[in-house]
Amino acid sequence: MTQSTGKIHEIVKWPDPVLAKRGEDVTVFDAKLKKLVEEMFESMYAAQGIGLAAPQIGLSQRITVIDCSFKKNPDEKVVLINPEIVDRKGKQVEEEGCLSLPEIRDKVSRAAWVRVRAQDINGDQIEMEGEELLARAMQHEIDHLDGILFIDRLSRLKRDLVIRKIKKLQKNGEW
């Protein structure tokens, strides 16, 4: 068993402004980037998540990590750098949560299948497809890179209720 030496980053919570802006494209693919990606996986696991985008740790960069197996299958670890959704099909409506919105969950409509074009950790162009949970995770994380949170995809009424709940938690010092 290898000991992790990665730093665990604190997860940024809504309404931090870094969550509301488009991340910068990554142009340098070096050892520092590899270390950051490793730290992002460690931070995601520590927070009990299956996806994490760089803005969620306060970095406005287009990097996301996903592991729908949550450490059970190393082959399912996904790193997407500068990703774009190039095709989508179908529809799924499932409950989502977000590490930047702890305790908040709601049903969100997403494509059931997506194809994503991105770069890997070495800067090489890749394309990958995902369906069901992986498709949902890819769309959720790419939204983060575009400054969109899942609550932005809720009806105005539901979103207002969520914001009111968060403001109450903030007032009570619980957020």
Given 39, 42, 96, 141, which residue is catalytic? 141
- Measured between alpha carbons, how far apart are the two ends of the chain, in Å? 35
Torsion of the alpha carbons at 12, 17, 19 and 20, rounded to the nearest 10 = 170
* Contact status, residue 14 vs residue 166, Cβ threshold 8 Å: yes
From residue 72, alpha-carbon distances to 45, 48, 54, 76, 120 in Å are 11, 13, 23, 8, 21
Question: Helical H runs in the chain?
Answer: 31-46, 132-145, 156-171
Tell me, yes or no, if 141 is annotated catalytic: yes
**Binding site: which residues?**
98, 140, 144
- Rg, C-alpha atoms of the chain: 16
DSSP state of 57: G
**Binding site for Fe cation: which residues?**
98, 140, 144
Q: Which residues are catalytic?
A: 141
